[in-house]
Amino acid sequence: MDDEETDDLIDTAEESEIQEEEDGAGRDVDTQSEAVDDENAMPVIGDLDKYLQVYEQTFEKIQIPTDVQQESLQALQDFLATQTSREAAGDVIFSAIFEAAPSLQGLFKGPRSIMSQKFVAALLSLATVGPKPGMLKTQVETIGFQHLDVDVTVARADVFRDAILELFDQELGPKFTTKARFGLQILLNYASGALIFIRREYASRIRIIQNSWQLANKKAAGITDVQEALTGTKKGQEKRSSISREQTEEDSEGELDLDLDMTKNTDGMMVPNSFNDMFLFNAAVMGLSNNEWMNLILDQLDAIANNVANPYRLQEECEVLALVLSRYHGSFVLSEFKAVVLASLRSLVPTEWTSEHEVAWNWLWQNVERLLKSVLGKPQVYEKALTGVLSGLPDDQVAFLRQEFFLNFFKVAPTGQDFFKQSLTRLYYIADKIIEMTTDIYTQPRAMVEDISGLGLRHVGYAIPAELFPPFVTSAVEIFSQVTTDDTAITAFQWSMSLVCKILVRATSEGSTVVMKAISTNDEVSMKKAMATSARGKRAQELLNISVGTQSISPFYWSIQSGNLNSAKAILEDLLTIRADRDVYYYACDDLFTRHPDVVKYLMTDVPLLLDTLFNGLVWRSRWINKGYRRVNYYVKHLVQDLEGQPSETLSWLADYRDPKLISHETIVTMSDILWDGVKYQFLRRRLFFILSLCLFLASQSVLTVLEPSQNIRNALFVCRTLIYVLGLPQLLYVQLKSLCEDCRNGDVDRILRVPVPQYLWQWQGLGSLILLWLLIMMCTLEPMYWCLGDLSYPLFSVNCPAGLEWKRVYSTFSCVAMMIYWSLCLLLSVFHMRLSAFILVCKRVMSEVGLFLLALAFILLASTTSVVALDHTVEDFGDMGAGTMTLLEMMALSLYPTSKLDELRHEEVLLVFVIGFCIFVTLFLFSMLIAQLNQAYQHGFEDMLGYARLNRVQITVAELEVMPQKRWLTFLESLALGQHLDFNEGDVGVSGGVQVLELGSLHPTATESIRRYGGSTAPSMPWPEEPGDYGSEDKFEKLEKLIIRTTKSLAKGNRKHGGGASGVSGVGSSMAQSASSGGDSSNESV
Q: Give me the domain span that covers residue 140.
A: 41-201+1057-1086
Number of domains within the chain: 4
Phi then psi dihedrals of residue 236, to 5 deg: -60, -40
Residue 238 has a pLDDT of: 40
* Any domain includes 901: no
Q: Of 814, 832, 850, which residue is a domain's last?
A: 832
For residue 372, being part of any structural domain is answered with: yes
Domain boundary among the residues 532, 566, 586 is at 532
Q: Are 286 and 313 in a shared domain?
A: yes
Residues 362 and 326 in one domain: yes
User: Tell me, what's the pLDDT at 450?
Assistant: 87
Q: Are residues 391 and 491 in the same domain?
A: yes
| pLDDT given at position 785 | 87
* Dist. CA 158–CA 165, nearest whole Å: 11
In a domain, 792, yes or no: yes
What's the CA angle centered on 17, arms 15 and 20, to 5 degrees? 75
Judged by average pLDDT, the poorest of 56-70, 197-211, 1065-1079 is: 1065-1079
SS3 of 549-569: the string is: CCEEECHHHHHHHCCCHHHHH
Quick one: pLDDT band at residue 1029, thresholds 50, 70, 90?
low
Q: Say what angle helices 599-606 and 650-657 make with each other, to 10 degrees.
A: 20
Question: Do 339 and 464 fall into the same domain?
Answer: no
Do 392 and 523 sit in the same domain of this protein?
yes
> What are the phi and psi torsion angles at 968 (to 5°)?
-65, -35
| Residue with the larger pLDDT of the pair 28 and 845 | 845
Quote the mean pLDDT of the chain: 79
In a domain, 54, yes or no: yes
pLDDT band at 522 (very low <50, low <70, confident <90, very high): confident
* pLDDT confidence bin for 636, thresholds 50/70/90: very high
CA distance 123 to 314: 23
Q: For position 157, which CATH number holds?
A: 1.10.490.10
* pLDDT(263) > 60: no
Across 433-437, average pLDDT: 90
Mean pLDDT in residue range 769-786: 91
pLDDT in tens, 61-118: 887 888 888 888 888 888 888 887 777 787 788 788 877 777 776 666 555 655 676 7
Instruction: Quote the pLDDT of residue 23.
Output: 37
- Buried-state track 59-89, b at ≥16 Cβ within 10 A, e below 16: bbbbbbbebbbbbbbbbbeebbeebeebbbb
State pLDDT tens for residues 718-772: 999 999 999 888 888 988 898 888 888 888 888 887 888 888 888 888 898 999 9
Predicted local confidence at residue 1039, as pLDDT: 64
Domain match, 391 and 456 both: yes
Q: Domain check: are 49 and 197 in the same one?
A: yes
Q: How large is the average pLDDT for residues 969-978?
A: 92
Who has greater pLDDT, 442 or 803? 442
Q: What is the CA radius of gyration of the chain?
A: 42
pLDDT > 70 in the chain, percent: 82
Give the model's confidence band at 1054: pLDDT under 50 very low, under 70 low, under 90 confident, else very high: low
- Higher pLDDT: 585 or 169? It is 585
Counts of helices then strands in the chain (DSSP H, E):
46, 14
Pair 370, 407 in one domain: no
Give me the pLDDT at residue 599, please.
94
Question: Does 469 map to a domain?
Answer: yes
> Residue 982: pLDDT above 50?
yes
**Helix-strand-coil percent breakdown of the chain, rounded to 5?**
70, 5, 25
* Residue 365 shares a structural domain with residue 395: no
Residue 1050 lies in a domain: no
Which of 60-69, 614-623, 860-869 has the highest mean predicted lDDT (pLDDT)? 614-623
Indicate if 296 and 408 belong to the same structural domain.
no
- 775 part of a folded domain: yes
Kindly report which listed range (221-235, 396-410, 1072-1086) carries the lowest average pLDDT score: 221-235
Q: Per-residue confidence at 892, pLDDT binned at 50, 70, 90?
A: low
3-state SS, one letter per residue, for 514-526: HHHHHHCCCCHHH
pLDDT in tens, 696-724: 999 888 888 888 788 888 889 899 999 99
Residue that terminates a domain, selected from 795, 817, 832: 832
Q: Using CA atoms, how far apart are residues 158 and 168, in angstroms rounded to an integer?
A: 16
Q: Is residue 674 part of a domain?
A: no
Question: Assign residue 148 a region: left if phi > 0, alpha if psi is -120 to 50, beta otherwise?
Answer: alpha
> Is there a single domain that holds both residue 357 and residue 395?
no
Q: For 217-239, how does the pLDDT look when each residue is reduced to its tens digit (9 = 90+)? A: 863 333 233 333 333 333 333 43
Do 433 and 370 have their domain in common? no
